Amino acid sequence: KSVAMDMNTAFDLEVREHCPQAQVVYDLFHVVAKFGREVIDRVRVDQANELRDNPKSRQVIKRSRWLLLRNPENLPAGHDVRLSELLEANQPLNTVYVMKTALKELWYAPNEQEASQRWNDWYRQSQESGIKALRQFAEKLKGYAGGIIASATHRLNTSVLEGMNNKIKVIKRMAYGYRDNDYFFLKIKAAFPGKAR
């Protein structure tokens, strides 16, 4: 009925070929991470570059990457004040930070009609922002809007799969690789007892 994935064209093509009736749902984490790399990082660097004549202020913005990318509830103690001060002092960073929060809200819509309305509002605001990186990201994301809106009906994500993939990478790294694929797959099966596959 539905498939969760990141915005990978190869995955899209495979699903369309093997499960043409399935509704694609794009994973929140991957979209927001991409927003962080392509929008927040770009705006942060641009804003820092504009402050070449003010080294102190420039350093504050350059060192704010994790402050802007982390969820507010995951900020270390006292960093919420630093974040508030930064956002008050820099309008473009404030705009992309608010747009990141609004982007996340697309996945929590109660139904597809509300999700569609939220998408339209978010897209319009991104185009009206005057921030080039944000406008370009929204334009690229437009082609994936159906899979974002579908998350209102199909509450899927790729977190379990990502966790399994990370565990497999650790198994491989701990052994510095395996020469025998059969043994490697036995180690993987042993790491996930009770899983059907």
Over the stretch 28-70, which tens digit does the pLDDT of each residue have? 999 999 999 999 999 999 999 999 999 999 999 999 999 999 9
Domain co-membership, 172 together with 114: no
For residue 196, being part of any structural domain is answered with no
Highest-confidence range of 135-144, 173-182, 186-195, by mean pLDDT? 135-144
Q: Are residues 79 and 126 in the same domain?
A: yes
Phi and psi at residue 154, to the nearest 5°: -110, 100
pLDDT greater than 70 at residue 176: yes
Q: Do residues 144 and 166 both lie within one domain?
A: no
In a domain, residue 29? The reply is: yes
pLDDT of residue 193: 84
| Within-domain flag for 64 | yes
> pLDDT, tens digit, for every residue of 91-150?
999 999 999 999 999 999 999 999 999 999 999 999 999 999 999 999 999 999 999 999
Q: Establish if 197 belongs to a structural domain.
A: no
> Are 71 and 115 within one domain?
yes
Tens digits of residue pLDDT in 41-52: 999 999 999 999
How many whole angstroms separate alpha carbon 63 and alpha carbon 70?
Answer: 13
Amino acid at 127: Q
Please report the pLDDT score of residue 160 as a whole number. Answer: 83
> 39 and 128, same structural domain?
yes
The reply to whether 8 and 88 lie within a common domain is: yes
Give the whole-angstrom CA distance, residue 182 versus residue 164. Answer: 18
> Rounded distance, CA 64 to CA 67, Å?
5
- Would you say residue 165 lies in a domain? yes
- Same-domain check for residues 97 and 114: yes
Whether residue 164 is found in the same domain as residue 83: no
Give how many domains the chain has, as a whole number.
2
| Shared domain check, 19 and 100 | yes
Of the ranges 4-18, 39-53, 161-175, the best mean pLDDT one: 39-53
Between CA 86 and CA 67 the distance in angstroms is 9
Question: What pLDDT score does 84 carry?
Answer: 94
User: What pLDDT is attached to residue 196?
Assistant: 56
**187 and 94, same structural domain?**
no
Three-state SS string over 62-96 comes to HCCHHHHHCCHHHCCCCHHHHHHHHHHHCHHHHHH
| 23 φ/ψ angles, rounded to the nearest 5 degrees | -90, 125
Question: Does 186 reside within a domain?
Answer: yes
Integer angstrom CA distances of residue 56 from 7, 110, 187: 38, 45, 52
pLDDT at 158: 86
| Whole-number pLDDT of residue 41 | 97
Residue 126 located in a structural domain: yes
Residue 39 covered by a domain: yes
User: Are residues 132 and 163 both part of a single domain?
Assistant: no
Angle between helices 91-105 and 112-128 (to 10 degrees): 170
Q: Does an H or E element contain 7, and which?
A: none
Same structural domain for residues 8 and 73?
Answer: yes
Residue 26 has φ and ψ, to the nearest 5°, of -85, 135
- Containing domain of residue 138, as a range? 2-152
